[in-house]
């Protein structure tokens, strides 16, 4: 897509003197995005398991991130900024590209989560090979909630397929149908927003079903929930109303992530209280002698 020389010159003149305050905020957000994903990466690696992460959450997060990076790269406003990099200073170009860099870092970090999800995919416990005479027991909850390996492969295949689709289709619109590029960018933004909205529903359901966070990182959500709104404000200031499909995604994401964060914190606090209560109960039992405690029956059968 080419821009008129007069428009390009006036637009580049505006970018030549970037606002230092906005630049500092954008850099802060960029670093914050990177740091916010590190606790999730560390938690999966340290536990050597991705149990607790919903396959649909990982799939929809990767696809929505791909739609977001394709959206901001094809937006005419972003492409106009890129075109000006040949006429403005390096600092001004870097400031203009910070929005693209933010979305790119976010997509890369979540794509790495998908890779960790596959590398540390939990194995289902194998059933006993020989029948036993004991009374059969019901399958453990962990076995019922562990996804299958086929689901993990589908996550990878669909993620790669959508990446190729978005990349090739964007090239077609850029070089063959530039007049419809804004519409294609809006479609990607809407798709990313819808997928990001749906993305957290399977994870909310999975976390609620497990009644614990497991490999889901609470610190990551503590950073990202308020950070989503700050990020959306930064993109809105740079792209304006025409870029609503880019910054609207992060408003929706922040709201749903806040729901998941509240649920996760409630489960962590509940488990902490149970553990504390159990420790106090054990201490009381030791002090009463013969293992008796306040919960012991008053009348005990003699040996």
pLDDT along the chain (303 residues), means of 10: 58 81 86 92 94 93 92 87 86 88 92 94 66 46 70 93 95 90 90 84 91 91 87 77 73 87 92 82 57 45 44
**Residue 125 CB burial class (10 angstroms; 0-12, 13-18, ≥19):** exposed
Q: Give pairs for 264-271: CB < 8 Å, separation 24+.
A: 264/207, 264/213, 264/216, 264/218, 264/221, 265/218, 267/207, 267/211, 267/212, 267/213, 268/213, 268/218, 271/212
Q: Is residue 82 part of a domain?
A: yes
- Total domain count, the chain: 1
Residue 46 DSSP SS3: helix
Determine the Cα–Cα distance for residues 196 and 248; give it in Å rounded to an integer.
11
Q: Is residue 255 part of a domain?
A: yes
Q: Is residue 295 part of a domain?
A: no
Q: Is residue 115 part of a domain?
A: yes
According to the model, what pLDDT value does residue 298 have? 41
According to the model, what pLDDT value does residue 200 have? 87
According to the model, what pLDDT value does residue 160 have? 95
CB 51 within 8 A of CB 72: no
According to the model, what pLDDT value does residue 38 have? 95
Run of H or E residues at 100: helix 98-119
Annotate 278-295 with b (16+ C-beta within 10 A) or e (fewer).
Answer: eeeeeeebeeeeeeeeee
Give the residue numbers spanning the domain of 75.
10-286
Q: Is residue 192 part of a domain?
A: yes
Q: Is residue 31 part of a domain?
A: yes
Q: Is residue 300 part of a domain?
A: no
According to the model, what pLDDT value does residue 222 have? 92
According to the model, what pLDDT value does residue 58 have? 95
Nearest of 264, 260, 283, 261 to residue 272 by alpha carbon: 264
According to the model, what pLDDT value does residue 137 have? 43
Return the biggest CA–CA distance within the chain.
100
According to the model, what pLDDT value does residue 9 have? 67
Q: Is residue 280 part of a domain?
A: yes
According to the model, what pLDDT value does residue 12 have? 86
């Amino acid at each position: 897509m080419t821009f008129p020389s007069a428009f390009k010159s006036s637009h580049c003149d505006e970018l030549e003197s970037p606002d230092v305050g906005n630049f500092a905020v954008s850099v802060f957000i960029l670093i914050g995005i990177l740091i916010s994903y590190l606790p999730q990466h560390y938690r999966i690696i340290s536990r050597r398991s991705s149990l607790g992460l919903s396959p649909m959450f990982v799939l929809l997060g990767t696809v929505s991130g791909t739609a977001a990076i394709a959206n901001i790269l094809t937006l005419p406003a972003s492409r106009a900024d890129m075109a000006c990099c040949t006429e403005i200073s390096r600092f001004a170009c870097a400031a203009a590209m910070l929005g693209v860099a933010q979305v790119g870092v976010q997509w890369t970090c979540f794509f790495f989560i998908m890779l960790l999800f596959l590398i540390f995919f939990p194995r289902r416990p194998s059933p006993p090979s020989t029948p036993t005479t004991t009374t059969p027991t019901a399958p453990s909850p962990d076995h019922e909630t562990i996804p299958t390996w086929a689901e993990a492969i589908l996550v990878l295949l669909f993620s790669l397929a959508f990446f190729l689709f978005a990349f090739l289709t964007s090239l077609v619109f850029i070089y063959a149908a530039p007049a419809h590029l804004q519409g294609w960018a809006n479609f990607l933004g809407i798709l990313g927003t819808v997928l990001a909205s749906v993305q957290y529903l399977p994870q909310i359901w999975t976390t609620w079903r497990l009644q614990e966070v497991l490999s889901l990182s609470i610190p990551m959500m503590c950073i990202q929930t308020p950070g989503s709104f700050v990020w959306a404000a930064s993109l809105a200031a740079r792209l304006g109303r025409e870029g609503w499909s880019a910054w609207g995604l992060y408003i929706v994401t922040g709201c749903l992530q806040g729901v998941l964060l509240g649920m996760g914190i409630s489960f962590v606090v509940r488990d902490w209280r149970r553990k504390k209560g159990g420790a106090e109960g054990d201490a009381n039992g030791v002090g009463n002698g013969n293992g008796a405690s306040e919960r012991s029956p008053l009348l005990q059968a003699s040996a």
